Structure 1
Amino acid sequence: MSELVLGLLATLAYGAVGTILMALGFVLVDLATPGKLRELIWVQGNRNASVLLASGLLGVGVIVTTAIITSDSDLVTGLMSTVVFGLAGLALMSIAFVLLDLATPGKLGEILARPEPHPAVWVSAAVHVAVSAIIAAAIT
């Protein structure tokens, strides 16, 4: 029974860390796009902002999942590595967004906040997913 309780506590701890990292990812995407992300997605139904946020959250999920799978049975070390790799992933995804913005015409955040669908959102989303896959591969 104690294994079950320890497993449940570990699950809750990893879930909390993953949720906090995804919340931080939300904040970073919100900073990258003009206006409030909540307004853009849930009130205006902006597909560009939705795809960008979804790709960032999926990226964080990939990194957190990989960190959990590869962690040893030591919960504290596993949680620490999940936090470290999650933060590294968020930082690298943000840097990649800035580099993509510098390499393309216009302001990427403004383009992605437009109400009409724009192909740049798919490129930005691919960057998020690619960076998270690279980090996941580096973890293993």
Structure 2
Amino acid sequence: MTDLLNALFHAVVYAVVSGAILIVAYYVLDLVTPGHLGSHLHGSDEDGKASVHLQSRSAALVASAWMISNALVLFTAIWSNGATSFGWPLVWTVSFGLLGVALNAAMLFAIDAVTPGNLRQIVTEPGPVRPLAYLAGATALSVAAIVCASIA
């Protein structure tokens, strides 16, 4: 019974810590994209009025890939280290989780620098998914794969 309670406690702690890092990841993406990311996803104008015509499907694709990417890094860190105990495994999870967020932001700027136009502006424009949004989403998932491989 003690093992079960201990495992449940670990699960709650890792879930809370990972959830906090994912919230940080969302806010970092919000900071590196023009405007308010929530408005692009919701389709709100400056007055807060929602319209399906103001929604950015490109922003939704990039934000989804960004969140999955960061969650994969957290998953791998927990899976590789979390069964042992708290302490260093939790520090590893936080460290790699924040590294994943930082590398995703850096790669978004790098891809923006080598692609035509303003990638960060393009992926927040209302309407259908723009081709550059697929590149931005794939880049986030690529970063996750690299960081996950370095953990494992």
TM exceeding 0.5: yes
Match of 1:56 in 2: 66
The correspondence of residues 53-132 of structure 1 with structure 2, limited to 5 A, is 53-71=63-81, 72-116=83-127, 117-132=129-144
Local SS of the residue matching 2:130? coil
Residues 25-78 of structure 1: per-residue CA shift (max 9 Å, x gap)? 101111122111111112343211111111111011110110011105122221
Name the structure where helix makes up a greater proportion of residues: 1
Match of 1:7 in 2: 7
> Quick check: which has more Rg, 1 or 2?
2
- What is the distance in 2 between the residues matched to 1:102 and 1:34? 15
TM-score of the two chains, using structure 1 as the length reference? 0.95
The number of equivalent residue pairs is: 140
Residues 72-103 of structure 1: per-residue CA shift (max 9 Å, x gap)? 51222211100000111111111111111111
Q: Please say if residues 89 and 135 of structure 1, whose CA atoms lie closer than 8 Å, have aligned partners that are also in contact.
A: yes
Percent identity of paired positions between Structure 1 and Structure 2: 28
Over aligned residues, Cα RMSD in angstroms?
A: 1.1
**Structure 2: runs of 5 or more not aligned:** 44-53
